[in-house]
């Protein structure tokens, strides 16, 4: 997971994902550089951020699921958005 600016929401996401798998990989300038993380000093250039962040992540998201036999259209956890507090009922 891309972690350019660590915050409580990123930590909560990592915690939820770690309940599913021990293979949580964080990439960012302030993560601990170890076997599961990649400490990477992003440039954050306004004109080229799309190349630095979005395109590489889209490629990973397109290539990896079929290789691992995963259908990304099927939710792994139906309660995910409630856990992340990203979809609140009114």
The 10s digit of each residue's pLDDT in 37-48 is 888 887 878 888
Residue 49 covered by a domain: yes
- Find out whether 9 and 81 touch, Cβ atoms under 8 Å: no
Q: Is residue 2 situated within a structural domain?
A: no
**In degrees, to the nearest 5, what angle opens at C-alpha 30 toward C-alphas 53 and 47?**
30
Q: Is residue 89 part of a domain?
A: no
Q: Is residue 73 part of a domain?
A: yes
The parent domain of residue 15 ranges over 8-84
Return the pLDDT at 25.
85
Residues of the chain short of pLDDT 70, as ranges, are 1-4, 6, 88-90
H or E element, residue 39: strand 37-39
Q: Is residue 59 part of a domain?
A: yes
- Cβ-based neighbours of 41, under 8 Å, separated by 6 or more: 29
User: In the prediction, which pLDDT does 33 show?
Assistant: 84
Q: How many domains does the chain have?
A: 1
Instruction: Give a yes or no: residue 63 inside a domain.
Output: yes
């Amino acid at each position: 997971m891309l972690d350019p600016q660590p915050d409580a929401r990123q930590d909560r996401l990592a915690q939820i994902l770690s309940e599913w798998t021990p293979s949580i990989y964080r990439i960012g300038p302030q993560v601990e550089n170890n076997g599961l993380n990649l400490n990477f000093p992003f440039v954050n250039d306004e004109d080229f951020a799309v190349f630095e962040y979005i395109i590489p992540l889209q490629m990973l998201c397109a290539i990896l699921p079929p290789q691992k036999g995963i259908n990304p259209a099927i939710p792994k956890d139906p309660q995910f958005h409630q856990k992340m507090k990203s979809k609140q009922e009114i």
